[in-house]
Structure 1
Amino acid sequence: MQRALLAGVLAVVTTSLVGTWVVIRGMTFIGDALAHGVLPGIALAFVWGLDLRLGAMVSALAMVGGVGLVNRRARLPEDAGIGLLFVGMLALGVIIVSRQRSYSGELSSFLFGDILGVTRGDLVVQGLVALGVLAAVVGGFRAFLALSFNADTAAVLGLHPRASHLAMLGLVAVAVVASFQAVGTLLVFGLLVAPPATASLLVRRVPAMMLVGVLVGVASVYVGLVVSYHHGTAAEATVAFTSVSTFFVVLAGREAVVAARRGAATSAAPG
């Protein structure tokens, strides 16, 4: 449980730093697609006896390149390429896994993770990735911020919006790959989007969103693991559900405060 908590915290740090940009730029679809798109690489790495993270990264990079290729060559909107590769990569992954004898068990492990089976070596890798993502986010902050509001302005400022976009996609891929073993390829999307989205309800500045997102995510991991331990539920799903539920709780609380303030202002108005 201690290793699971630490793995969850490291996953939250990585996903919240990157997920803040995902939420600000409206890139949730590509985040979801990458979370599914790593499955073929994971499945092949498993079959060939390779490191699963290596297979996931190759698959993620192939998907990022494929989205760009479809967008340039087929002259289709980016979301069309994302949708095509989303379904295709997920289907290919399931096909590869289905040829194994322990089909249902292995597929479940890939999709939903095994946070209680995290090793010390996994924690070391997660920690190094978290530090690398932090350095990349700090180093590319100005370019990412300009790109989030206006690509043309970013180009005028010499911040290379296309390269910044590809770098951001790469960071999303790294965040997904670094976290899938803890919470699975499906549930990692909950940590990538929910904590930053919750933070966006509370603060406006990007650095504050990242900090609040990490704090919300850490709290979700802790509560989810405690609930899972005492009630015998799936740890990974409980963590993801807690993270998403927190968003709606904060949203409801904010709306209640706004409604109360409006009521007070109406009551205080003359006549």
Structure 2
Amino acid sequence: MEWLTSPFEVGFVARALWGGLLVSAICGLAGTWVVLRGMAFMSDAMSHGMLPGVAVAALLGGNLLLGAALSALAMAFGITALSRSKRLSQDTGIGLLFVGMLAAGVIIVSRSQSFAVDLTGFLFGDVLSVQHADLVVLGCALAAAVLIAAACHRSFVALAFDRRKAATLGLRPGLAQGLMVGLLTLAIAASFHVVGTLLVFGLLIAPPAAMALWADRIPVIMAGAALLGGAATAGGLLASWHLGTAAGATIAALAVASFFASALAALVRDRLPLRPTVEPKGP
């Protein structure tokens, strides 16, 4: 069993594992609402729409996390503003901002001397370079995500299933929507500089979607998504160590593979005939 444990005895791999576990927990909390609300396209746009803020922060020598958060918030406000138009669907607004922000980010990054390296790091991250300071940031982000998810759970549930009923109950669906987007922004901004936008998006969507096929209760979906994401992280790091593949991409691939495995198993489950009930015999 040495091949199973020896990689995690190395310091940078152990830190990568802890970083991936924290990201999985954060994404499990936020990603569950993304799946239930059908916000996958929006979350993808926000994760890639952070590039202008990150690029400006990098060129000015500023804080990348702050730049990412401001850029993601700008995306969220822009999507909200465009979605109020009666002539444009929300998907149209998201698509326009997605392409515009991504193009602006690439233009800004192209002004630097390390264009290819910077853009690759933005997309795929470098999970093997996680430092103790990154773990502290992720730990704080997880604590904040737990507080938001717990405090707003009732409002989020009402918003996810019936917006009009949420308004009738006085749960302020507009505020709940803003806090949900804030939770999503927190998950993306806190995690991207460690694991890249593709891995964040993979852990944000795939594990909750896989669990949603098997669980009806939202807390169960969140917990299961965190466990699946953690398993994908550990398995991806292990495979990367022994096969020499890119760690971040391997983790993302395993996370997506877990969804397809879950979907296949659910399909088999749904096609199996129900076990007939045995009628009790009379005396």
Give the structure 2 partner of residue 227 of structure 1: 239
* More helix as a share of residues: 1
Give the structure 2 partner of residue 114 of structure 1: 126
Q: Provide, for residues 89-112 of structure 1, a one-character-per-residue CA deviation record: whole Å limited to 9, x for no partner.
A: 111111111111111111101111
Specify which of 178, 184, 196 is matched with residue 172 of structure 1.
184
Structure 2 alignment gaps of length 5 or more: 1-12, 278-283
Give the Cα separation in 2 of the matches to 1:223 and 1:198: 17
1:196 aligns with 2:208: yes
SS in 2 for 1:202: coil
Specify which of 157, 176, 199 is matched with residue 187 of structure 1.
199
1:152 aligns with 2:164: yes
1:32 aligns with 2:44: yes
RMSD: 1.5
Distance 1:263 1:158, change over 3 A: closer
Give the structure 1 partner of residue 280 of structure 2: none
Give the structure 2 partner of residue 23 of structure 1: 35
Give the Cα separation in 1 of the matches to 2:267 and 2:274: 11
Structure 1 alignment gaps of length 5 or more: 266-271
Matched residues, number: 265
The answer to whether the 8 Å contact 1:147/1:164 transfers is yes
Residue identity (%): 47
Give the structure 2 partner of residue 86 of structure 1: 98
C-alpha deviation, 1:256, in angstroms: 2.2
1:205 aligns with 2:256: no
Question: Structure 2 matches for 1:40-79, cutoff 5 A?
Answer: 40-72=52-84, 75-79=87-91
C-alpha deviation, 1:182, in angstroms: 2.2
Give the structure 2 partner of residue 239 of structure 1: 251
Give the structure 1 partner of residue 113 of structure 2: 101
What is the TM-score when the length of structure 2 is the normalising length?
0.90
Distance 1:252 1:73, change over 3 A: closer
Q: Provide, for residues 161-217 of structure 1, a one-character-per-residue CA deviation record: whole Å limited to 9, x for no partner.
A: 011111111111111111102221223110100010011111111111111111111
Specify which of 14, 25, 34 is matched with residue 2 of structure 1.
14
Give the Cα separation in 1 of the matches to 2:107 and 2:199: 20
